[in-house]
Every structure is written in structure tokens, then in C-alpha cells.
Amino acid sequence: MNKNPIGNKSVKYFLIFTFLYAVGCWFFWPSASFESSDANWGDHEIPLKNRDFESMALFFELYKMKCNAKEAILYRTTQIQYWNIFHWPSYWFEKKWLVPYKEASTHIKGSIYPDTTKEHCFNGPESDATVKEAVRRSKDYIKSL
């Protein structure tokens, strides 16, 4: 039986590269920041706290309902970094990157706005019915992307 040493090395290097790429994607998986078109609400994903895109869509819908911002549009304020190959799977498979992009407002800059310590219509309590309606709307929004 004649073994091809080049073929065996190629497979070995391919498997090592694939493993390292998968580890890199896991470590460098991108998160995104979002804000409303009226710049009166902003938030960002925190994967380790289970604050993902679905949460951002839900919070945005709650903002629209609680603050009577019916015409507000959700914008992503995190730019796509095409050069970062570890982000590519996220760009291909996650709907958050389909949200339109705009530059972050100077008073929000990718953070959580309004701060929970400030008096703001978003910071007040909400009823169960309001939350259920916001969940429904956020799911519809994500499906529409």
C-alpha cells in the first residue's frame, strides 16, 4: 500500500486550521449595539448576560410602546468589519446584521440609554399585557428581516 505523505499532511493541516478557526470564532463572536431613530433609546448585546439580538428587539418594542414612539425605527450602530474573518459566520447567519446601520448618536455611543437611574418613560413599570404585545411585535420584526 502506497501512502501519500503530502495528502496526509494536507488533511492534518486542514483539521488543525479548522479547529483553530472554530475556536477563534467562538472567542471573537461579534456583538452589536442598537438605537432608535429618534436617539431616545439605545442598548447593546451582552452575550454572557444572555442579552442577545432578540432581547434588543424586545426592549426596542417596549420602548416604542411605553414612550409612544410609534414611528421610531431600530438601527444598528455597530459597523460590519468585513476584514475580520472570525465575524463572517455571524454576518452570514445572524439577522441582527440585516438591521439598517447608522452612526451612533453622540450621547448614546453604543451604551445603554436611558440609564436606569434617570427619569424616563422607558424606565417605568410595564404590565404583563404590554410585555406580551412587545414580545409578539419583536418576533414579527425579526421574522420580517
Q: Give residue 44's pLDDT.
A: 93
Average pLDDT on 114-122 reads 85
Average pLDDT on 52-71 reads 95
The residue whose grid cell reads 472554530 is: 22
Question: Domain segments of the chain: what residues?
Answer: 5-144
Residues of the chain with pLDDT > 90: what percent? Answer: 57
Q: What does the block give as the cell for 21?
A: 478557526
Residues 5, 83: Cα–Cα separation, whole Å: 34
* Amino acid occupying residue 63: Y
pLDDT at 1 over 60: no
Average pLDDT on 91-111 reads 92
